[in-house]
């Protein structure tokens, strides 16, 4: 059957070449339409209770993650000459397409009591605009007396922030790219004119930077991976055809990756952007195993066609199985409820199988057309370095079985202790280098304005117009005062903030009256408030942002520092929630926290849990595949042991080196298990075949001699191929590269020392 298939492939090679090339052109054409993702898909499904509440919150109060903050800390901005430049800059920003509104120094307003209409008016502080320093200083004094802006726009140390609200429809489209470019151009122009350094923060900016970095990273890693693989292939094989032909095959599959993304309507994300270089690295072993076996066969059979038929017949099925197990490691990711993982798993799984299809049909066809390899092209089979390595592995397996078992037992116990030290933690921008401008700007806002991660608190009074209850407002005020004392929390804004500002305005903007009304003046102030705010800001706009349409719910908005998912979760559950329970214990009001920050925490935990489940599912499916292949449960167990140990060791390394368990590190284990188990499949399949005609010892020797060589070659390719990810600008990609390289290198050692030792020990029993 295998020989018939081999002849079928070779006899129809021209047809298969035309089909593959034609399909590649089709995929390349579709790949032109692939887009980059600007939506940054959520990691929590819409059916989740907290996600449903968050979506309900956004329908009631609007978006909470569409504000870009641009800060500065330079005393020269308080000089009249610089104010004019700053005002022009703010007006330029205000006119950028996609900007809904701005709140900055020269655009600030103050509440004024209108005795005639019995209401409050919003009046521009900088109207008329000051023409001299004295006028400017007097207006700054007005701003300093407005407690509403304290710690929000201007802090005690002279730091300023400009808040820019962006249209949410622009944020989730490719138009955001132009919007952010325009805003940055305006900002850089102001910096060059004023010599004042600006700092950027907020989800719109951080997501833009990450999206742009993905583009650069994709191109750079793809080129580097191709160069590294080409160099390693040449060093091993010392032949140009064994370099270019595998690269052509991989180039075809990489084209299919982009085509697959386009055909499925998927976009390039931080995850799917890693697929082309990953396919380059994990696709090459197919070619290495087939080339290595082809050269062995040509030396033995002395006939090119017979050698190629022998390759397809002998390792064709095994190569399919190894690609299938690798694909399973990716496909299981599509079983999650997380869109970015599902897309990554589907595209990766399909194209891992595509590498087998292209390799099995194209590689034999090409080599049948090429001249028979010269002796110089197969000299690598006798490399002394490789031969010495193989001899060492063989010697260890036969002479030091007990030491091998002892050493790996110690490693397992030590690694298990390290595993117990692992913590699950992620930061909003922890993929970004600590010395990057994005991280420096984030630290600026954390030190001057206590952070930029949005947190929302909803107070549901359970009754119409319940937000007007003074006792409830006092409870909200008490909670806001509690928040004010936390250094990692910004000054909150709510209906209470506006009411306190209104009381200050009622008493002619005396800052000592910035507080909630008392029983003596509440009727007067609420009567003014009931008439609404006039001029530039309407009562409806304020109500829509901080109070629902029937006055039942109110919103408290604040920002927190990027403390990391673990600490943020602890702060929310052990600091905020107990205080909420204490203050509102005697109230019928229900107080719930939500917002981008809480969804971020939930998303990280959800992601890690799903990845762990995916790894277990991959383990089960791969075990089933191997049981069908070997039809022996003991052989399955034997084959899994050398591939589980590297995962345990990697987990131990994470624990000892304080590498947190987060999506990027959890993703590794599911993927790499499917790759590393390929070693065992190749080894055991060859061993099983040799055992038909040889003794146990001779079978293992022959297996190590032949399969071991390919395993060493592919291990070097995989190690250096994945280690290039360690030079990424993203922390998650670095972790993925380092852990994958370590696991696969250890897997090679376990499969060439522990696996034969177990077989020798098992069969002798």
The C-alpha atoms of residue 605 and residue 53 are separated, in whole angstroms, by 18
Which tokens hold the place of 527?
């009567």
Average pLDDT, integer, range 672-697: 88
pTM: 0.78
More confident residue, 764 or 615: 615
* pLDDT tens readout for residues 621-656: 888 888 888 888 888 888 889 999 999 999 999 999
* Angle between helical axes of 339-369 and 596-630 (0-180°, round to 10): 40
Give rounded-to-5 percent helix, strand, coil for the chain.
70, 10, 20
Percent of the chain residues past pLDDT 90, beyond the cut = 40
Lowest mean pLDDT among 137-141, 231-235, 480-484: 231-235
Residues 737 and 722: beta-carbon distance below 8 Å? yes
DSSP state of 493: B
Average pLDDT, integer, range 655-674: 82
Which tokens hold the place of 296?
């062995």
**250 Cβ contact list (under 8 Å, min separation 6):** 226, 229, 279, 280, 283, 284, 287, 355
Per-residue confidence band for 478, with pLDDT thresholds at 50, 70 and 90: very high
Q: Class of 2-40+207-420+600-764 per CATH?
A: mainly alpha
Only one residue has tokens 């005396």, namely: 510
Asked if pLDDT for residue 538 goes beyond 50, the answer is no
If you average pLDDT over every residue of the chain, what do you get? Answer: 87
Which CATH code is given to the segment(s) 453-594? 3.30.70
């Amino acid at each position: 059957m295998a020989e018939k298939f081999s002849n079928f492939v070779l006899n129809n090679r021209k047809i298969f070449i035309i089909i593959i090339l034609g399909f590649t052109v089709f995929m390349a054409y579709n790949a032109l339409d692939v887009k980059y993702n600007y939506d940054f898909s959520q990691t929590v499904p819409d059916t989740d209770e907290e996600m449903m509440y968050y979506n309900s919150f956004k329908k009631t109060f609007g978006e909470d993650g569409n504000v870009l903050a641009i800060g500065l800390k330079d005393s020269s901005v308080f000089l009249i000459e610089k104010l004019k430049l700053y005002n022009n800059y703010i007006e330029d920003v205000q006119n950028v397409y996609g900007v809904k509104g701005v709140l900055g120094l020269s655009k600030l307003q103050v509440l004024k009591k209108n005795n005639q209409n019995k209401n409050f008016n919003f009046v521009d502080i900088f109207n008329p605009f000051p023409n001299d320093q004295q006028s400017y200083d007097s207006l700054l004094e007005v701003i300093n007396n407005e407690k509403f802006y304290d710690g929000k726009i201007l802090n005690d140390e002279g730091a300023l922030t400009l808040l820019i609200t962006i249209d949410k429809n622009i944020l989730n489209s490719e138009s955001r790219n132009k919007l952010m470019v325009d805003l940055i151009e305006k900002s850089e122009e102001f910096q060059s004119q004023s010599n004042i350094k600006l700092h950027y923060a907020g989800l719109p900016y951080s997501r833009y930077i990450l999206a742009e970095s993905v583009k650069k990273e994709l191109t750079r890693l793809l080129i580097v991976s191709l160069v590294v693989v080409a160099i390693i292939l040449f060093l091993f094989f010392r032949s140009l055809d064994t370099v270019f032909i595998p690269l052509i095959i991989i180039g075809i599959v990489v084209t299919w990756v982009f085509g697959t993304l386009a055909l499925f309507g998927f976009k390039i994300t931080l995850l799917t952007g890693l697929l082309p270089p990953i396919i380059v690295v994990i696709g090459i072993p197919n070619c290495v195993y087939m080339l290595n076996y082809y050269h062995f066969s040509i030396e033995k059979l002395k006939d090119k066609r017979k050698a190629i038929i022998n390759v397809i017949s002998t390792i064709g099925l095994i190569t399919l199985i190894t690609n299938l197990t690798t694909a399973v490691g990716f496909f299981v990711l599509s079983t999650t409820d997380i869109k970015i993982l599902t897309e990554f798993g589907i595209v990766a799984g399909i194209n891992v199988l595509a590498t087998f299809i292209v390799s099995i049909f194209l590689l034999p066809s090409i080599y049948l057309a090429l001249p028979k390899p010269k002796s110089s092209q197969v000299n690598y089979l006798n490399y002394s370095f490789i031969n010495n390595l193989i001899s060492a592995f063989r010697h260890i397996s036969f002479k030091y079985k007990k030491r091998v078992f002892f050493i790996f037992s110690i490693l397992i116990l030590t690694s298990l202790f390290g595993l117990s030290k692992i913590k699950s933690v992620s930061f909003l921008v922890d993929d970004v280098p600590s010395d990057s401008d994005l991280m420096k700007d984030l630290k600026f806002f954390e030190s001057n304005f206590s952070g930029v991660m949005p947190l929302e608190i909803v107070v549901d009074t359970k009754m119409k117009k319940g937000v007007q209850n003074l006792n409830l407002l006092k409870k909200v005020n008490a909670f806001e005062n509690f928040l004010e004392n936390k250094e990692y929390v910004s000054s909150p804004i709510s209906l209470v903030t506006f009411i306190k500002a209104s009381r200050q305005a009622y008493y002619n903007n005396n800052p000592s009256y910035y507080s909630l009304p008392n029983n003596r003046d509440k009727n007067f102030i609420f009567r003014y408030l009931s008439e609404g705010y006039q001029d530039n800001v309407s009562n409806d706009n304020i109500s829509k942002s901080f109070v629902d349409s029937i006055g039942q719910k109110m919103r408290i908005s604040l920002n927190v520092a990027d403390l990391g998912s673990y600490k943020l979760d602890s702060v929310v559950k052990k600091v905020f929630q107990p205080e909420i329970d204490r203050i509102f214990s005697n109230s019928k009001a229900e107080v719930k926290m939500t917002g981008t920050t809480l969804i971020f925490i939930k998303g990280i935990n959800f992601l890690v849990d799903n990845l762990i489940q995916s790894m277990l599912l991959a383990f089960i499916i791969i075990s089933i595949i191997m049981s069908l292949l070997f039809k022996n449960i003991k052989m399955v167990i034997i084959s899994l042991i050398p591939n589980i140990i590297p995962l345990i060791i990697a987990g131990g390394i994470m624990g000892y080196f304080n590498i947190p368990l987060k999506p990027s590190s959890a993703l590794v284990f599911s993927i790499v298990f499917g790759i590393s188990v390929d070693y065992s499949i190749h080894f055991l399949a060859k061993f099983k075949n040799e055992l038909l005609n040889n003794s146990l010892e001779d079978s293992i020797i022959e297996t190590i001699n032949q399969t071991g060589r390919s395993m060493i070659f592919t291990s070097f390719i995989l190690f250096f191929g994945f280690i290039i990810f360690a030079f990424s600008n993203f922390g998650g990609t670095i972790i993925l590269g380092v852990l994958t390289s370590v696991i696969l290198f250890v897997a090679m050692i376990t499969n060439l020392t522990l696996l034969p030792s177990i077989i020798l020990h098992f069969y002798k029993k």
